[in-house]
Structure 1
């Protein structure tokens, strides 16, 4: 049985406590560093505002990277980018309404 302990991480200046098996702590820390880097790049581009939108765009970008690696042959990268652009436009259309709630 894997022993799990809480681990404190920081992503874009926000602190989170995550439970993680001891033998996966190093991989989790690498993932946190990668995610933090991607989110900061998106924020610094000035094209996306709001931590929730930045997180969604980072998730989409990282998913795109993963799928591209998995499907190097026969994968239509341009179509996938167009789909991401459409998703971003849809988010841009609905998230201002959510911002009004807070």
Structure 2
């Protein structure tokens, strides 16, 4: 019987049990569903072993995540450079103020990304 800190998932018709804090259950369940879907797709198109299918699915998802992170980082750099260049360069606007505004823009961008992930 699973404890309150464990969660069970089925991957390729086998059950696995994982420790999971209650506040992370929903996101972990979503991730497990996506992983299981990817593994099932790969399993249907190959005769590879269960272990190889799991590894291929994990590598595919990791590659997609890395690609998305790099794209987001590049987009954020472009956004921040645009913001920084649009700020006035007057005696009233110190470098510290400009840096603070850029940091605020970065945090807003991060929050909007998080909200987008929830939808």
Corresponding residue number in structure 1 for 2:43: 43
Count of residue correspondences: 69
CA distance in 2, matches of 1:41, 1:12: 10
Match of residue 91 from structure 1: none
Rg comparison, structure with higher value:
2
Q: How does 1:81-96 map to 2 (within 5 A)?
A: none
- Alignment-derived partner of residue 69 in structure 1: 68
CA separation in 2, counterparts of 1:19 and 1:60? 22
Structure 1 ranges of 4+ moved more than 2 A: none
RMSD: 1.3
- Secondary structure of residue in 2 paired with 1:71: helix
For structure 2, the 5+ residue unaligned runs are: 75-119
TM-score under structure 2 length normalisation:
0.54
Separation in 1, partners of 2:36, 2:21: 21
Q: Which has the higher contact order (CA 8 A, sep 6+)?
A: 1
Look up the SS of the partner of 2:53 in the other structure.
helix
Q: Which position in structure 2 is the counterpart of 1:28?
A: 28
- Which runs of 5 or more structure 1 residues have no equivalent in the other structure? 74-102
